[in-house]
Amino acid sequence: MKIKFWLALFLIVLFGLGVRFYKLGSIPLSLDWDEASLGWNAYSLLKTGTDEYGKALPVSFRSFNDYKPPLYVYSTILPIAVFGLNEFSVRFPSAAAGTLTVLVTFFLVKELLELGKAKEPEEGKGKVALIAAFLLAISPWSIQFSRVAFEANLALFFFVVGGYFLARFLNRKENPALFLAAAGYLSSIYSYHSSRVVAPAFLLGVVIYYRRIFWEKRKVVVIAALFGLVGLYPLVRNTLHTGSLGARFTTVSIFTSPAMKNNPYEIARLFGKNYLNHFNFDFLFLTGDGNGRHHAPDMGVLYLAELPFLLAGLYFLLSEHPKWFFFTAWWFLTAPLASAMTTTTPHAVRALLFLPTYQIFTAYGLVKTVSLVKTTLRPAVFLGVSLLFLLNFGYYLHQYFIHYPIESAKDWQYGYKEAVKKVLANEKNFDRIYITSAYDQPYIYFLFYGRIAPTVKNSGYFYHGMDKYEFDLDGKDKNGLYVVSPGEVTPDLKIFDRVNFPDGTPAFLFGRM
């Protein structure tokens, strides 16, 4: 491949890195409770070798009794050791994973286009791979979740790594590639819950479709499968011992609703509805899902400029049906399976494994469309398309970096850091401190931003209080400090300080009886 392609790839990855790391510690404005939990558990492991509950090197982290997968916490230990316990360190693994996913996507697409000795010329393959990587670098979906500590983004990176090595194995019959693919998918499963559904479903389809290749290399396949099963053993053992999967599954699954029990028709109907919700036009291109943490204001997870080329890519792929199409199409079709099993759909986090299939289809459609244009008109078409994407990307950057910090502050539990700072400055003046739970999980912020040593472990009581802090507002204590939400102010509470949201409305109010 020509040097210009490698230079272009370097610039794309560098650009992807810049947009993911720029103001990483300050936008979004604050850590949500899951980010704070991931960071505190990593800090606790760094300092004591145990998590917040005193468990040594856990396979899942109890956290808020939602039992988080382990890899994101472990990947955060090094950034915290280097940069300290802060927002940047907690988000660093996700930003790094998002950047590296851009790089791996280029090699994945190159490998896919080689599958079955595809007819596209080498330069054409390079263009499709570069454009797919570029589209992922500027993707609102990817940027959004690369800039926060979402385990799903780390899982996506490992899933793409697994996809690259699996395609390499199918294309070149290299034995080590199959083991590296297994390691990639295992790591994805240990990173986020959705991969535990999507990865097996995807791999099963690939094995069936490319069965001749797998049968030809059956001895290696058996060994790789055993490697995978051995790798899964700690997770399975931990799940059976703690009931961690059941705890998480019960809170979000459509199967545990009383209305769904013993009603397979209703389950099938709701699953189908939830699955199709992920192809909703508004979700993809206009508004995103209903969670303010998952998208910039007035933005979907894809650009409108991508739509015509996405449709063109699907048309060309369906009509030409190259041998690599099944691999990507099956990935695309299995990506929302885990999310479709949950009660809130569409869900941008649980369906993040869609990436980078949308970008691959769009890149293919763009290259094919431009190739149909007369040679003399191609520069003008290229300029027009570039301007279209530039306008979309510029609008996204404006929405994300200018409007999003203000409009999404409440979604990100903004104010806890400032509230903890004020509490610490005043705590010596009060016998007890009563903290509202209106914004959920206040204890984790007092661990993360407070002076509680990680050697003090959570017996389960931290949900209710610690030291002189109580995370409820019961009773009237004349010697107590009350930190309340605006809706909890009572006539006998004398307010003397406050923490405001960025728009000037009160987040926390400080008072005494």
Spatial distance between the Cα atoms of 417 and 429, rounded to a whole number of angstroms: 20
Residues 428 and 478 in one domain: yes
Residues 201 and 173 in one domain: yes
Predicted pLDDT at 239 = 82
Residue after which a domain boundary falls, among 407, 439, 469: 407
Q: Where are the alpha helices (DSSP H) in 324-482?
A: 325-334, 337-340, 357-371, 378-398, 404-407, 416-426, 442-449
Give the domain range for residue 445.
416-512
Residues 487 and 350 in one domain: no
Predicted pLDDT at 254 = 76
Residues 194 and 326 in one domain: yes
Residues 224 and 109 in one domain: yes
* pLDDT tens per residue, range 12-22: 999 999 999 99
Tell me the helix, strand and coil percentages in the chain, rounded to 5: 65, 5, 30
Predicted pLDDT at 209 = 97
Residues 398 and 420 in one domain: no
Residue at token pair 């699954």: 253
Contact 466, 444 (CB under 8 A): no
Provide the number of structural domains found in the chain: 2
Residues 361 and 428 in one domain: no
First-last CA distance in the chain:
74
Predicted pLDDT at 240 = 80
Residue after which a domain boundary falls, among 407, 432, 458: 407
Spatial distance between the Cα atoms of 174 and 162, rounded to a whole number of angstroms: 14
pTM, rounded to two decimals: 0.96
Residues 403 and 449 in one domain: no
Omega into 454 within 30° of 0, i.e. cis? no
Contact 503, 409 (CB under 8 A): yes
Residues with pLDDT less than 70, the chain: 1, 116-123, 242-251, 256-262
Predicted pLDDT at 184 = 98
Sheet containing strand 506-512, edge to edge, reads: 465-466, 469-470, 432-435, 480-484, 506-512, 494-500
Residues 317 and 245 in one domain: yes
Residue after which a domain boundary falls, among 366, 387, 407: 407
Residues 482 and 403 in one domain: no
Residues 392 and 458 in one domain: no
Residues 438 and 353 in one domain: no
Cβ contacts of 7 within 8 Å, gap of 6 or more: none
| Chain centre distance of CA 325 | 26
